[in-house]
Structure 1
Amino acid sequence: MTKGEQTKTAILGEASELASRVGLGGLTIGTLATATRLSKSGLYAHFASKESLQVEVLQFARDLFTDNVLRPAVRAPRGEPRLRAFFEHWLTWQSSRFVGGCIFVNAASEFDDQEGPVRDELVRAERDKQDSIALVIRTAVVEGHFRPDVDAAQVAYELEGILLAHHHARRLMRDPRAEGHARQAFERLLEGCRAAPA
């Protein structure tokens, strides 16, 4: 990695933290310049516009999600253990990766009705994540951990709902029971998927 690439990676790290606190819409070349004590002209050398900055921050955060959630989960045994690992790492991501909460959840609320590259990047990241979860669930079916008639897309949808509810309860409601509720809901979801004992 060149010095310029290292600098840009460091800037994107700062920018993603800032976006978690002020929102992706509040992330501008100006606010980033203030936070990093870098000149606007220096930042424009890395990012041509506010929009390109926002897209690159999402791509950077997506790489972090892959490194912190997906890759560790894939190291777990196939099937239900891998889905459990995915859930655990995802819960940790939501609880501690960014000071201001999950950047994707926050940005989805901001950009759900807007058209353009930022929303497109959010949708792409969400679809890829859902596809990854569904693949893990289908593998659990193949391994015999879940019933053959389990709808992987539906289970992935419900798992997303659990994590979104956890984020809402923890961040907005400041409910100390948020993690416990999420874990209980996850166990119920798994119970509904399991194959009946022989």
Structure 2
Amino acid sequence: MQSRQLILDRAMNIASVEGLESLSVRRLATELDVSKSGVFALFGSKEELQLATVRAAIEVFTAKVVRPARKAPPGIRRVRALGESWLRYTRRPVFDGGCFFTAAAAEFDARPGRVRDTIASARQDWQIFYAATTSEAQELGEITADLDPADLAFELDALARVAAEDAVLFDDDSRYDRVARIMLARLRAVATDPALLEEA
């Protein structure tokens, strides 16, 4: 439904800047010049609106980060593509506040409930996918055998998250460049054939 997607697009943008708690049926209806009853009929409650917003943000993340990276060949090049895709997503933000999940995790990490569980589940799915991609590269013989692939995925993801947080906090785009260099150096250090990481 077009009106539902319009509402969720606005909700994701607001939440990225002001947090999910700032969302309300009244505010969205006013900002989008639609009826309050119409917005309420689509979501029913503030919590359902928040949950729908998180789920919509998962779809955006999948479209902007996961799918583009999966176009890279399996192996260390796909691991690199995941990291670079993550950095692109945050560097040219889809939302005014930068990465939706960086903001949402900070807001709800210590608050039990369905919204937190949904955010945590999305984050866990991403970590599992990143680790599986790294493990596949190791199975293909492109990452050294003495390394725990889940540790490497965690390390690369942590670097990207720091870049996303600091670039926004300090209004310093160069943080992305620094982290991209560090991530590439780390991959070269564990690659069985660093030439695979050379630019095409």
Q: TM-score, normalised by structure 2?
A: 0.91
Segments ≥4 residues shifted beyond 2 Å: none
RMSD (Å), alpha carbons? 1.5
> Which amino acid letter does the alignment assign opposite residue 82 of structure 2?
F
Aligned residues: 193
Matches of 2:22 and 2:78 in 1, distance apart?
Answer: 36
Deviation of 1:39 after TM superposition, in Å, equals 2.2
Query: Where in structure 2 are the equivalents of 1:101-180 lying within 5 Å?
Result: 101-180=98-177
The one-character-per-residue Cα deviations of 1:103-156 (angstroms, maximum 9, x if unpaired) are 100011110110111000001000000011011101110121101122122112
> Which amino acid letter does the alignment assign opposite residue 171 of structure 1?
V
**Matching residue of 1:7:** 3
Tell me, what secondary structure is at the counterpart of 2:43? coil
Matches of 1:83 and 1:120 in 2, distance apart?
Answer: 27
Deviation of 1:193 after TM superposition, in Å, equals 2.2
Deviation of 1:187 after TM superposition, in Å, equals 1.6
**Matching residue of 2:97:** 100
Query: Where in structure 2 are the equivalents of 1:52-67 lying within 5 Å?
Result: 52-67=48-63
Matches of 1:44 and 1:52 in 2, distance apart?
Answer: 10
Q: Which structure carries more relative contact order (alpha carbon 8 Å, separation 6+)?
A: 2
Instruction: Check whether the contact 1:147–1:196 (CA below 8 A) recurs between aligned residues.
Output: no
Counterpart selection for 1:82 from 54, 62, 78: 78
Gaps of 5+ in 2: 195-200
Deviation of 1:61 after TM superposition, in Å, equals 0.7
**Matching residue of 2:65:** 69
- Is 1:183 aligned with 2:175? no
Matches of 1:187 and 1:99 in 2, distance apart?
Answer: 28
Q: Percent identity?
A: 36
Matches of 2:191 and 2:87 in 1, distance apart?
Answer: 22
